[in-house]
Amino acid sequence: MSSILFRGATVVFPDQTAKSSVLVQDGKIVDLAAADHATADEVIDCHGLHLLPGVVDDQVHFREPGLTHKEDLATASHACAAGGTTSFLEMPNTLPHAITIEGVRDKEKLAATKSLVNYGFYIGATPDNVDELNRATDVPGIKIFIGSSTGDLLVDEQEALERIFEQTTLPICAHCEDETTVRKNAERLAGTSDIADHSRIRDENAAMIATRRATDLAIRHKHRFHVLHLSTAAELEILAEPNPYLTAEVCLHHLFFNVDDYDRLGSRIQMNPSIKTAADNAGLWEGLLCGQVQVIATDHAPHTLEEKAQPYPASPSGLPAVENSLALMLDQVVKGKCSLTQVASWMSDAPARVWGIVGKGRIAKGYDADLVLVNLEEERTIEDAKQYTKTKWSPWSGETLCGWPVATFVGGNQVWSKANGFNEAARGSKLTFDHSRGGYWNTSGGIGTE
């Protein structure tokens, strides 16, 4: 067995940060307070650095198969590794759609040959594939598009939604924008070429109606449900009280951008759900800090700059984010907005618990050594040309952040470092899901291997 010793790091544990030395053996964390004289096959001097659990991004669109001119599993996983993300959960709206268990398995096979980091793939719901959803095993869950989709993946009829929530057992997540509201707003604003109208078409009311509808289904059917990418402060009213069947997430673009940024960034921040107001930014931050929102994700969904440059509404919605997500939050730690333990909870521990990802999300004995070393004193400016994502751009281009990853480890293997670049021979592993643990609200002690 191989071993690695992280000596003298400031370690971000679930409840505190503390100076310690962490010993990893055969890809597992075996000692959290190794002696100063401890030895290992590799010893890394971590003085002045912080050691965090690797990021678990539970909402990405990596475009393979079918749309690989925008991104693929190799380029996206390189971006993950450089940004400190060690595991991702990918959505089903590739081509073909992953709406059968065979489709999910095909994506897993692709990832096994290409991905530097760990992977899992949702199965997509259609109005009539309940039997297929019930065949699915060892997947994170079911994804429903309640609005903001076309063809088979749009599930908007109440009868079909009732059937999915009543007759399946996997945890469910959904894109919540009311299709009827969006279409009515689009008709009212027909002919517009103003990018800011995107937030008027996909408005607060569209988000509220769909989120209320989906959470009502979850509560009535006692079915675990995760609200993806909250975009409005108003939606927090639905989540005001803890509910054993409900969890929620916010994405970085809804924390950092608002409608005032359209003049500066245009379609670079065109997203579904849309960017909202500065008051919504503040409300979503408060939702995180007070515990109403459990998870931060990216909704990484790249398009080429040529596609984004089309005049609205031909410009597509979506942006790349995985390689800058952790740095954006570390910068907020440096600025005093939140703590390292909160960031580790929102980006690592909570998503692992929501989706029952075994052995992930914490620095604790027995957990997998999915780790990221960060330098909270390093300043770096985001630049389009230096992005690893295939589309080579970021909506945060030009912004200088303080706090960056310097090395990323997956299962104890260094997959990237600032000094040496990528370990092209490394491959991540398929994630293991144990939904019998009961999800976020039943796993306060984490989701280790025992």
Does residue 192 sit within a domain?
A: yes
Alpha carbon distance 172, 17 (integer Å)? 33
pLDDT of residue 1: 61
413 — pLDDT class (breaks 50, 70, 90): very high
Alpha carbon distance 225, 214 (integer Å)? 8
Burial code (b: 16+ CB inside 10 Å, e: under 16) for 382-409 equals beeeebbbbbbbbbbbebebbbbbbbbb
Q: Quick one: what percent of the chain has pLDDT higher than 90?
A: 96
pLDDT of residue 416: 98
For the segment 104-129, the average pLDDT, to the nearest whole number, is 98
- The pair of three-digit structure tokens given for residue 290, joined into one six-digit string: 């007070």
Does residue 318 sit within a domain?
A: yes
The domain total for the chain is 1
154 — pLDDT class (breaks 50, 70, 90): confident
pLDDT of residue 138: 94
Does residue 29 sit within a domain?
A: no
pLDDT of residue 310: 98
Does residue 7 sit within a domain?
A: no
Does residue 43 sit within a domain?
A: no
Does residue 79 sit within a domain?
A: yes
37 — pLDDT class (breaks 50, 70, 90): confident
Cα atoms in the 13 Å half-sphere on the side-chain side of 443? 28
CATH number, domain of 202, equals 3.20.20.140
CB-count exposure of residue 14 (10 Å: 0-12, 13-18, 19+): middle
Q: Is the pLDDT of residue 48 over 90?
A: yes
Q: Is the pLDDT of residue 147 over 80?
A: no
Least trusted range by pLDDT, from 34-48, 107-121, 200-214, 258-272: 34-48
Does residue 410 sit within a domain?
A: no
Helical ranges in 90-234 per DSSP H: 101-114, 130-135, 158-167, 179-188, 198-201, 204-221
| Residue-range definition of the domain harbouring residue 218 | 54-362
- The mean pLDDT value of the chain amounts to 96
Alpha carbon distance 360, 246 (integer Å)? 21
Does residue 112 sit within a domain?
A: yes
The model scores a pTM over 0.95: yes
Q: Is the pLDDT of residue 150 over 70?
A: no
pLDDT of residue 422: 98
151 — pLDDT class (breaks 50, 70, 90): low
How many other CB atoms sit within 10 Å of the CB of residue 40? 18
